[in-house]
Amino acid sequence: MFSSPTDSSQIERFVTYLRAERHYSEQTIEVYAPVLNGFADFVSGADWTEVRSEDVREWVAVQMEKGMSPATVNKNLSAVRSFFRFLLMSGVVKSDPTRLVRGPKKEKNLPYFVREKEMDNLFDRVEFPDDFTGKRDRLILLIFYSTGIRLSELVGLDIASIDFYTSTIKVLGKRNKERIIPFGTELKEAFEEYLPLRAQQPHADETPALFLGEKVPRITKLKVGQIVNHCLSQVTTQKKRSPHVLRHSFATAMLNNGAEIEVVKQLLGHESIATTEIYTHTTFEELKKAYMKAHPRAEED
């Protein structure tokens, strides 16, 4: 491709610069060096001044063809960008060939969620103890699935957050932004079963918190996570069993059952509709799976 030999000493100078002046960790340097040497091999024989944007793009494409993830390729490209900025700063090159090169788009990971049938099994078939802990744990799960609130929002709920007259919950979300979420009969009945037992707890009068811990005035995020993980393990084998999974499950169930995306956006407290749109991808994947399974001529190659 090129006629003049590659000057590998520039990579050595760059590594020394990272270590001595930028104080990069050895772990980072161990990642950068092989990437840069690999890039030098790709443009084999090139003088650094001869490398063009087209060469960098081709290098990116080859990595993708080898099956590297977009995240890995972007990290590798970042290392090469840093190297050419160093060469530009040092006066070795007059232009940066990576400046006009875009890395591959990151894959959008679809959110994990628990299927409606499994959630029905959780609330209809799993037996919760008929005591304070059992009623509290079931109510926590039901609030997550019925409202889609965040973990921090649930922990922050006070008794005064619940309006039984209007059947709504006042939630304090991100950046102290309030939103009102309606709830149905099942959740109202769960509140009515829990609150009398809450009132009997030793420190119930000392805190406005809706959910009490066994030994602390307000339940912790860690404890709620443990409750959710344990209870979901009884109805699903998926590895992710967190409160956020229940938030995803709420959104997916709403859209699958005909809710408008704008409504789901408001209930979740999203700033942008783009954040909510990821759930439409999830519901489409479910629709596609159902189609492929049911249609007689829908077999994939």
Q: Over the stretch 167-204, which tens digit does the pLDDT of each residue have?
A: 999 999 887 889 999 999 999 999 999 999 999 998 89
Provide the pLDDT confidence category of residue 3 given band limits of 50, 70 and 90: very low
**Is the same domain home to 85 and 153?**
no
**Is the same domain home to 141 and 234?**
yes
**Is the same domain home to 227 and 277?**
yes
Residue 109, CB-side half-sphere exposure with 13 Å CA sphere: 7
Asked if residue 108 belongs to a domain, the reply is: no
By the 8 A CB rule, do 253 and 116 touch? yes
**Is the same domain home to 290 and 142?**
yes
For all residues of the chain together, what is the average pLDDT?
A: 88
The CA distance from 250 to 271, in Å, is: 18
Residue-wise pLDDT tens digits, 194-251:
999 999 998 899 999 999 987 778 999 999 999 999 999 999 999 999 999 999 999 9
Asked if residue 106 belongs to a domain, the reply is: no
Residues of the domain holding 83: 9-90
Query: How many domains is the chain built from?
Result: 2
Handedness of CA 119, 229, 131, 218 (dihedral sign): negative
CA dihedral 183, 186, 189, 193 (to 10 degrees): -110
Residue 74 sits in a domain whose CATH number is: 1.10.150
- Whether the model pTM is above 0.75: no
**Is the same domain home to 183 and 280?**
yes
**3-state class of 93 per DSSP?**
coil
Catalytic residues: 150, 174, 244, 247, 270, 279
By the 8 A CB rule, do 78 and 36 touch? no
Burial 56-67 (b: 16+ CB within 10 A, else e): bbebbeebeeee
